[in-house]
Amino acid sequence: MTPTPAQLRTLRLAAQGIAVPGTSPTGAVERMTAVQGQDLGQVLWAIGVRTPGATRDDVCAAFDRGELVRSWPMRGTLHAVRPDDLRLLLSLTAERTLRSIARRATELGIDQPLLDRARDTTVAALSGGRALVRDELFDEYRAAGIDPTAGRGYHLLLQLSQEGLVAWGPTARVGQGLVLLDEWAPALTEVPDRDEALRRVLLGYLRGRGPATEADAASWTKLPLGDLRRARAAAGDTVEDLGGGLLALADRPTTGGTPTGHLLPGFDEYLLGYADRSAQLDPEHADRVVPGANGMFLPMAVVRGRVVGTWKRTERASGAAVTVTPFAELDDTSVRALEAAAARYARFLDAPVAFGVVEATSR
């Protein structure tokens, strides 16, 4: 029987591992295959919310140990990912990503000789296990006669990342250091052939997001729908058809036993992991989460699987303040559930967090 919207939300929360105890930061990311992470602070909490009891320092330590990196495994968007899963994804997506950014590379004056010079400069600067933050590496580019301004340096890094050459590794005072991927985190497994890689990626996608459709998976990976259908066929009875086009792992996790309120970061996979987000977010409120459809997803307040508002963090002399702006008036039970979520966020920050809810406002 096809899940109802309420059942779908419950199943997806369980698959996403939100507030589900018993895993590590690395284990949480492995479960998800990749976690969208163009904003470092947001992705640290995206991992933390899936690792109850872990602190921000615990999540940073997984990057510092080389268990996790950030790179562009698909859609030209930064994600947190295990190094071997990054290699797996790039084996499927890199060629398509490079084609999609070729025109912009030409506009920036990036030709093969310039890319070769950037590659040589990057290897020379980072060899021997060195890690440089972006501006330090761009200084090396300038010394080699490469102008990194106007987005050129960032675009060169994006291209080199598709070769599996560089990734963002250990945390720094501000941001992360860039490293040579194979030096920083040598491969532990071989990249399989394409059909097996497709099967693994689909299973990984469903493990962290199911139930979902083939169209959802295609949107997330930006792979052709035909590839996802091949992956579905290869997966056999490890994947179950729930009706309505919804697929889930046959051995999906049980539901229940977790909190009902959550404060999710901006760009969280609970929303961005799907092409059709209507089960989690009423389309009527979509522009409250993405104001002006500008691509910037605000942090979300979630109760019983529904996005019920947004929230923001304000720094204070001691700790922080979390303020929820609901789409409509919240009942006392929902407020208490979100207050409990703020307490979990305080444990993650290892700092006091004051919690408040402002009056719901109309559009």
Alpha carbon distance 156, 151 (integer Å)? 9
Asked whether the predicted pLDDT for residue 335 surpasses 90, the reply is yes
Question: What percentage of the chain exceeds 70 in pLDDT?
Answer: 99
Asked whether the predicted pLDDT for residue 6 surpasses 70, the reply is yes
- 81-96 average pLDDT score: 98
User: How would residue 130 be classed by pLDDT, with cut points 50, 70 and 90?
Assistant: very high
- Sort strands 320-326 and 353-357 into parallel, antiparallel or unpaired: parallel
User: What is residue 269's predicted lDDT score, i.e. its pLDDT?
Assistant: 98
Asked whether the predicted pLDDT for residue 363 surpasses 70, the reply is no
Alpha carbon distance 178, 295 (integer Å)? 26
The token pair at 181 is 């991927």
Residue with tokens 């104001």: 291
User: What is residue 258's predicted lDDT score, i.e. its pLDDT?
Assistant: 86
Asked whether the predicted pLDDT for residue 149 surpasses 80, the reply is yes
Question: What percentage of the chain exceeds 90 in pLDDT?
Answer: 93
CB 339, CB 354: distance < 8 Å: no
Provide φ and ψ at 281, rounded to 5°: -130, 120
Q: Which of 28, 31, 12 is nearest to 255 (CA)?
A: 12
Question: What is the Cβ-side half-sphere exposure of residue 100, based on CA atoms within 13 angstroms?
Answer: 13
User: What is residue 228's predicted lDDT score, i.e. its pLDDT?
Assistant: 97
